[in-house]
Amino acid sequence: MASKLKIIHVAIIGALACIIAGTSMLFLMVKPAQARLAALQSRYDKAQSTWQRKAQVERELDDAKQKNHLMFWKLNYYMDHKMPNLSFTNRTVGMVQLWKEQSIVLGPMLKRWPAKTGVKLTSNFSLPAPPVSPNSLETTLIKIPVGNFSVTGDFATIMAHLRSWNKFPRLVQIDPVTITGESPTLTATYAVTVYIFPKGEPGPTVPMAGGAAATGTGAPGAPSEPGMAPPPGAAPGAAPGAPAPAK
C-alpha cells in the first residue's frame, strides 16, 4: 500500500511539474509570439491603408506641382511685363530709379491711359513723394496710392475701360466703382493703387552724414502734366513727387 501511494504521489507530482512547465512555456514563448503577431498585423493594416492611398497621394502631389509651376509662371510674367527695372541691390541707385519711375514714367502713363481706352479723365490725381533716404525704402513691396480717378463715357465704354486696367503696364488695383449721371454720359469714380515688387535682394544700408539716416520724403522735380496734381504742400506746377519749397 505504501509502495502504491508512493507511485501515485510520484505520478501526481510529475503531472503537476508538466503542467507548470507547459504554463511557463505558454507565458515565456506563446504570449510574446502572439503579441508580436498582433503588432505585425497592425503594421500591415496601416501599410495596406497607406498603399491604397498611394495613387491618390501621387495625383495630389502632381496637382500641387502643376499649381506651383503655374504660380511661378504668373509671377515671372508679372515681373517681366508689369514691373519696372527697379532693384535696391545698390540702395542709392535704386532710390534714383524709384524717383524716375514715379515722377517721369508712372505719372504720365497713368494720365494717358483713360484716353487710350475710350473714356475722358475729368479729375486730377497725385502720386506720393518717394523717400529721400536710401535706408527708408520699402524693399519688399512698394504700394503707391494714386487717389481717385473720375472718367466719363457711355456704360459700355466705361466697362471696357475698367477691364483695360488688366493690360496696364504696371500692376494696378482699382477699388469698387461708383457710377453717376444719366445715360449715355456717365461718370465712373474709383481709387487706383499701384504695386511694385523690386527685383533681387536689398543691399546693405548706406552710411549717412553724422552717423544717422535721413528720413522724410521728396524727389527731384519733373515737368508737370495736365491731370496730375502735386501732392499736398508741393510748389504750384511741381510734378508728382516734387518736394515742397523750403520755408
pLDDT score recorded for residue 26: 55
Task: Tell me which of 200, 223, 242 is where a domain ends.
Answer: 200
| Summary mean pLDDT of the chain | 77
pLDDT confidence of 24, banded at 50, 70, 90?
low
**What's the total number of domains in the chain?**
2
Same domain, 40 and 95: no
Q: Kindly provide the b/e burial profile for residues 179-218, where b requires at least 16 CB atoms within 10 angstroms of the residue's own CB.
A: eeeeeeebbbbbebebebebeeebbeeeeeeeeeeeeeeb
Asked if 40 and 69 sit in the same domain, the reply is: yes
How much is the pTM?
0.61
Statement to judge: residues 92 and 73 lie in one domain: no
9 plus 68 within the same structural domain: yes
**93 and 191 share a domain?**
yes
pLDDT at 123 over 50: yes
Is residue 54 in some structural domain?
yes
Domain with 105, as residue range(s), is: 86-200
Mean pLDDT of 83-107: 90
* 169-192 mean pLDDT: 92
Tell me the CATH number at 154. 3.30.70.60
**96-108 pLDDT, tens per residue?**
999 999 888 999 9
Quick one: pLDDT band at residue 12, thresholds 50, 70, 90? Answer: low
